[in-house]
Amino acid sequence: MDMDELFRAARRAAGAAYAPYSRFRVGAALLGESGTVYTGCNVENRSYGLTICAERTAAVKGLSEGERRFSAAAIFAPDSVEPVGPCGACRQVLSEFMAPGARVRFGGSGPGRIDTTIGELYPFDSLHDLA
Ligand code: THU
């Protein structure tokens, strides 16, 4: 499973997005350390604050199947030409289950892709000692 394949899984996942309010669809794919890929999409709600991002949907799908570590993540936002990175809440949640060096790729409908790591997206992470 390489990043291209993971990104294609995120692209497919965006097709299930429930985004009637923002009309902004997002798909995510996480590679579990077991080798299983977990995908997710954003799921909005008429009570706007209850919206769940694609990244957290994918993470919770994996975690609830017993996966505890993810080695890579891909995010696809078809309604943006430019790449869209995960929101702050998702960076925090992903950082709980990914090593700082774990790869993250995100992109939109245009050709641009950002290849980075969760440690770059969420530096100076703290509170791991609480676990
Ligand atoms: N969204 C995601 O699912 N992931 C991101 O990384 C950015 C934002 C969703 C939340 C909301 O449904 C819509 O995109 C607009 O913010």
Neighbours of 81 (CB within 10 A): 13
Mention every residue, 6+ apart, whose C-beta is less than 8 A from residue 19.
Answer: 25, 26, 42, 44
Q: Could you identify the atom of ligand 1 that is nearest to the CA of residue 22?
A: 15
CA atoms of 112 and 125, how far apart (whole Å): 27
| Tens-digit pLDDT profile for residues 86-130 | 999 999 999 999 999 999 999 999 999 999 999 999 998 877 777
CA atoms of 19 and 11, how far apart (whole Å): 15
Answer whether 0.75 is exceeded by the pTM: yes
Which structural domains are found in the chain, ordered by start?
3-130 (3.40.140.10)
**What is the distance in A from the centroid of ligand 1 to the CA of 42?**
6
**What is the distance in A from the centroid of ligand 1 to the CA of 57?**
11
CA atoms of 100 and 4, how far apart (whole Å): 20
